[in-house]
Structure 1
Amino acid sequence: MKYTRYCRSLLSTPATAVGRYVAGHRSGADIAMVDLEDSVPPARKEEARRRAEAFFSAPSARGVRCAVRINTVSGPEGLRDLLALHSYRIKPDVVLVPMVESRRDIEIVEQVLRPCCPDTEYFAVLETPRGLQDAPAIATASPRLRALVFGSADYVLATGARLSWEALAYARSRLVNSARAAGIEVMDSPLFEVLDEGALACEAALAKDLGFSGKIAVHPRQVPVINRAFSPDAQTLARARKIVEAGRRNGRDITVVDGAMVGMPFFEASRRLLEEFGERRADPVHSTPAAQERE
């Protein structure tokens, strides 16, 4: 897997909240997502599908990587969502598939969308015990599956666990290991206390330390906090440059940098970090064909 800043932050906007579409596009999130699932009541699902098309074609969406979260494909609403995408003039860059419990869920999405959305990628949201149990198989379900996403709220509901970092440490670790073993990205669940920036910064830092690629945002004010947490500071980049240079000088043999012994894993991690945020840090996030069409 090529190491790129694929997604530090993903901001969710309800499909029925058309007035918030522009704010979603301009939030600075690496991916702006319109939601057809939890934020839309059952009576408004059809309305949401109709309105959501404007999320991708609005002028403010130009150059923005846009996603849609559909309903679960084990029910009729999810299948209607997939069929609705056939008629959208501009297709989503990413489809988030919720409540994934087996690789078959992703295969269904691929079978329905392949004819109309050949460039669309998928994120699988794992939020049940069965989904976590099958995470390794789900992570390899499709070449277009780019990330696993942890859904903490439904996982807590299903297990009776407490919604805390400590209580969910195992679930998060299993998800990270499954995604990384498959060579794909992994996104952490949102923090629902939208006004507590300190708690968000703390949880995002813990998620980054555990190996997550990024974190879901449920409010635009959370995006800058998440982006900072998943981006290295100047001191970290400077140290990475020193490690890479030391590796070059020593033929990538074990050496000492700032009093610490470093070897091949450190050289490679530092090289990746500089590729992602250092030497190309002014570059835009890589866009997919659907995003390029909006530009």
Structure 2
Amino acid sequence: MRFTRYCRSLLSTPATAVERYSKSHQAGADIAMVDLEDSVPPARKEEARRLAEEFFALPSAKLVRSAVRINSLAGPEGLRDLLALTRYRVKPDLVLIPMAESARDVEIAAGALAADCPDTEFLAVLETPAGIERAHELAAAGRRLRGLVFGSADYAFAVGAGLSWEALAYARSRLVCAARSAGLEAMDSPLFEVADLEGLRREAAQARELGFSGKIAIHPSQLPLINQAFTPGPELLARARRVVAAGRESGCSVTVVDGVMVGMPFFEASRRLVDEYGPTPEQ
């Protein structure tokens, strides 16, 4: 199992909902994102770009990354978003590129922001059949791409599928495989039933088991469950420490821990887990 603090959770706030900006930064998500795309009607796009600048000037909780979801680069609004970002006083840590269908989408964003936002990283949102089928190409789109994000609603609509886990299993698996083969993070789409916390718990666990790094939240109330699902518990950490110790003692040869045969893949995964979350309970 691979755990990371980079993007266990992401909380989106419409760019026009200025009154929610501050809470978004303090809500407990690893990524606090302001949205210029779906949540903003066409008539308010320019206003949203102007308002969103203040989102990045606000203080965030420790280790929280600030992000912006731009409009599709297949149309003029996405290009206008990129131009606006170059003028912001404080730059975003991450830019989400929606409707990504080829490496060219990432290259356009990276090129446009190279001079003025050199440290900004990217997440590509795969939410069309073409994007899913080109997932491996997209995953190799450059060093500033940090992860792939699954957009279930648009993908399901495009292929005529339902939103159940089973219906979208192929798309999710293909995205995770492409992301992990390139050393990237993989983020799952949100559960849209805000009040269904048991459903969220179940779907987050399924996403974690499949290899996702985290999951998008559409409401702050979903964040505790999502963060819990993508954070190793004390028993898992304790076992990881035992595996690391066994690997050290065996010289990384195949051995048995808690009745289970373990070898190099287990040693490496456990070492990463211990490095990320602490070598001992006291530290």
| TM-score by shorter chain over 0.5 | yes
Name the residue aligned to 1:75: 75
CA distance in 2, matches of 1:281, 1:129: 45
SS of corresponding position for 1:141: coil
Would you say the 8 A contact 2:68–2:96 is kept in 1? yes
Establish whether residue 267 from structure 1 lines up as the match of residue 258 from structure 2: no
Take 1:233 and 1:60, find their aligned partners in 2: how far apart are those partners? Answer: 25
- 8 A Cα contact 2:179 2:185, kept in partner: yes
Match of 2:16 in 1: 16
- Match of 2:244? 244
Say if 1:258 and 1:3 are closer, same or farther in 2 by CA, change over 3 A: closer
Q: Considering only aligned residues, what root-mean-square deviation do their CA atoms show, in Å? A: 1.8
Shift of the 226–38 alpha-carbon distance from structure 1 to 2, 3 Å rule, reads same
Question: Structure 2 matches for 1:134-149, cutoff 5 A?
Answer: 134-149=134-149
1:8-67 deviation per Cα after TM superposition (whole angstroms, max 9, x unaligned) = 111111100111111110011111000000011111111111110010002457863100
* Conserved? CA contact 2:49–2:84, under 8 Å: yes
Distance change >3 Å, CA 62–CA 54, structure 1 → 2: farther
* Structure-2 separation of matches of 1:214 and 1:73: 25
Distance 1:241 1:67, change over 3 A: same
Q: Which residue of 1 aligns with 2:192?
A: 192
Query: Scaled by the length of structure 2, what TM-score is found?
Result: 0.96
SS at match of 1:13: strand
Say whether 1:165 aligns with 2:165: yes
Alignment correspondent of 2:253 = 253
Q: Which runs of 5+ in 2 are unaligned?
A: none
SS in 2 for 1:238: helix
> What percentage of residue pairs aligned between the two structures are identical?
68
Cα deviation 1:198-233 (Å, max 9, x = unaligned): 111110110000000111111111111110000011
Structure 2 residue 93 is matched with structure 1 residue 93 = yes
Offset, 1:277: 1.7
Shift in CA distance, 209/60, structure 1 to aligned 2, threshold 3 Å:
closer
Aligned residues: 282
Q: Distance in 1 between matches of 2:104 and 2:215?
A: 25
Report the residue type matching 1:68 in the other structure.
Answer: V
1:282 positional shift: 10
CA distance in 2, matches of 1:92, 1:102: 23
AA at the equivalent of 2:188: D
CA offset digits 1:122-162 (Å, max 9, x no partner): 00000000001111011111110000000000001100011
Distance 1:271 1:130 in 2: 37
Unaligned runs of 5+ in 1: 284-295
Contact 1:55 1:61 in 2 (8 A): no
4+ residue segments displaced more than 4 Å: 60-63, 280-283
Matched residue, 2:234:
234
**Distance of 1:131 and 1:31 partners within structure 2:** 23
Pair 63,6 (structure 1): closer, same or farther in 2 beyond 3 Å: closer
CA contact (8 A) 2:86 2:116 kept: yes
**Cα distance in 1 for residues equivalent to 2:282 and 2:67:** 23
Query: Within the alignment, does 1:30 sit opposite 2:30 as a pair?
Result: yes
Q: Judge conservation of contact 2:25–2:59 (CA < 8 Å) in 1.
A: no
Residue 276 of structure 1 deviates from its aligned partner by 1.4
1:42 and 2:39 correspond: no
2-structure distance, mates of 1:269, 1:178: 19
TM-score after normalising by structure 1: 0.92
